[in-house]
Amino acid sequence: MNNQLVYITVIFAILITIIIVYFFASIIRYHRRYMKLQRERILIEITIQENERKRIATDLHDSLGPLLSAVKLNINSIEIQPEDQEILEKACRSLDEIIGSMRQISYDLLPNTLELKGLTEAVREFIGHVGYKKGINIQLYVVKDISVPREKEIHVFRMLQEIVHNAIKHAEAKNLQIGLSEEDNSLLLLAKDDGKGFDIEKAKENSHGLGLKSLESRCEILNGILSIESKPGFGTNYFVKIPMV
Amino acid sequence: MVSIINFVISQSIWIPIIIGLVRFKIIKSECLPFFLLLVIGLFTEFISFLLIRYANHGHGYGSNAVPTNIFVLIEWLLLAYQLHSWGFLKKRKELFYIFISAPVLIWIVENIILGKIVVFSPYFRILYAFLIALVSISEINYRITHDNKNLFRNPKFIICIGLILFFVYQILYEWAYQVSLIEAPMGFTTSIISLFAYINVITNIIFGIAFLVGREEKEFEFESL
């Protein structure tokens, strides 16, 4: 009689345990599915955004650029009176500025070098460009030859752009060191600036911290790891590891 | 006297039925099988009451085992179908048919072949309560992770909370009932058994709330423009 009681109690205890375990297993399963779905959504959004940028950059570079150059050529070929010379020169200078700005916008949207020569060269070009214009000393160390899959290049480049942008705009850094390497089929990206640093938790809570969110989103869709170390007054270290396979 | 009190308590089933009738237009698209189950439940309560009160089996009171055993089968079928219509195994019809048929086979063996329809045999009751609790948990977790609207305005979510509460308690109740059959009823098993009626009231209130908060989903058609 007593054995039967124990037997019944054990069976019911097992049933209740299964229900509790199933509750947690089920919520973990749905959470994983949800995370996967989220990642896919972010990837789609970013891909659409990049495609749109590419389209605008191509339009600016291939259609508007030559058109403006043609306009400038035509203006220069006009025979004019000496008193109009100054106005014409002014118009040409404005045209040069427009062409320069347009090239810059096109470059910011999508650097041609990334498409033509790959990530390392695009990063070198970008760093040279920014360092010269913004007065920051950026050093790039490419430890090993890196081969990043084509579809991942743009995301790594954007992450790097964001890091440089943060160092200049928010950290007001004077020096920035960037290291690129490949290890165990993963791309390693390390960056260290000597800027004023920041409180990571506060920045994440702050809805204005779009830059950090963008870094996180891109890292997430690449199945990568992002680690940021920073303290007010002590600069910022970034560590990014992205699987290449 | 006890049967009258239990009958009065069981009449809490009117709460979701009345709310359901008032808001029938809203709930019919998503909760019709469940509403139907409540109505059948109401009839079963009446029949059970009449049998217990007036059908004398030689020991002063009657048994409601037969209508209850039939009701639990209907309950299983309707709830399984309701949960299926909300998304459970919706893309895997064959698996769903196996899922719904297995307990039905056990019911047939237990109640018809072994002839236990006239007593309260536990196997089917425990199995279907266990399965409904699991599927309801799955549904709740799905809503938690996928629904971006207010969950407490979602009838499916609220009904599943009620189902989990009810059926997990039913498993406990069955345990207490089986224990009380083996040994003389102990204090806490008696409490578990007697509390079941109150759990029933709470779940009926939860179901009523579920019908109350349900919103009509607007259908947009070109004609409405």
Task: State the count of interchain CB pairs (< 8 A) between A and B.
Answer: 51
User: What percentage of chain B exceeds 70 in pLDDT?
Assistant: 90
Which portions of chain A are predicted below pLDDT 50? Answer: none
The reply to whether residue A27 touches residue B141, judged by beta carbons under 8 angstroms, is yes
For A160, residues 6+ apart whose C-beta sits below 8 A from its C-beta are: A123, A126, A178, A189, A191
Residues of A with a Cβ under 8 Å from any B Cβ are 1, 4-5, 8-9, 12, 15-16, 18-19, 22-23, 26-27, 29-31, 33-34
Quote the pLDDT of residue B218.
Answer: 62
Phi first, then psi: give them for residue A195, nearest 5 degrees.
-80, -165
Taking Cα atoms as reference points, which of A214, A210, A216 lies closest to residue A228?
A216
Name the residue facing B179 among A8, A16, A31 (closest C-beta).
A8
Residues B10 and B197 sit within 8 Å (Cβ to Cβ): yes
Tokens of A67: 């058109």
In angstroms, the Cα distances linking A119 to A146, A211, B82 are: 9, 21, 54
Q: Closest partner residue to B182 among A4, A26, A34, by Cβ?
A: A4
- Interface membership of B63 toward A (CB under 8 Å): no
pLDDT band, residue B217 (cuts 50/70/90) = low
> What's the pLDDT score for residue B56?
64
> Which residues 98-157 of B are in CB contact (within 8 Å) with A?
126, 130, 133-134, 137-138, 141-142, 144-146
Considering only CA atoms, give the Rg of chain B: 19
CB A219 within 8 A of CB A240: yes
Check A27 against B144: CB less than 8 A apart: yes
| pLDDT of B117 over the 60 cut | yes
Whether B179 sits inside 8 A of A9 (CB atoms) is: yes
Domain with CATH 3.30.565.10 in chain A: 118-243
In this structure, are strands A175-183 and A137-142 parallel, antiparallel, or unpaired?
Answer: parallel
Give Cα B145 distance to the centre of its chain.
25
DSSP-derived 3-state class of residue A226: strand
Taking the C-alpha atoms of residue B217 and residue B156, their distance in angstroms, rounded to an integer, is: 14
- pLDDT of A86 reads 83
Among A107-116, B21-30, B106-115, name the one with the lowest average pLDDT. A107-116
SS (H, E, C) A44-67: HHHHHHHHHHHHHHHHHHHHHHHH
Q: Are A180 and A244 in contact (CB under 8 A)?
A: no
How many angstroms separate the CA of residue B194 from the nearest CA in chain A?
A: 19
What would the pLDDT profile of A140-174 be if each residue is shown by its tens digit? 999 877 888 888 888 999 999 999 998 998 888 99
The whole-number pLDDT of residue B145 equals 83
Measured between beta carbons, the chain B residues lying within 8 angstroms of A33 are 145
Beta-carbon separation of B168 and A22 below 8 A = no
- Residue corresponding to tokens 């072994």: B114
Radius of gyration of chain A (CA): 27
CATH of A118-243, one of 1.10.3720.10, 3.30.43.10, 3.30.565.10, 3.40.605.10: 3.30.565.10
B2 pLDDT exceeds 70?
Answer: no
pLDDT (average), residues B67-91: 93
Give strand pairing partners of A189.
A180, A240
**Backbone dihedral angles phi then psi of residue A235, each to the nearest 5 degrees:** 70, -175
Alpha carbons A64 and A102: distance in angstroms, whole number = 8
Pairwise CB contact (< 8 Å): B130 & A15: yes
Shortest CA distance from B144: residue in chain A? A27
Q: ipTM, 2 decimals?
A: 0.72
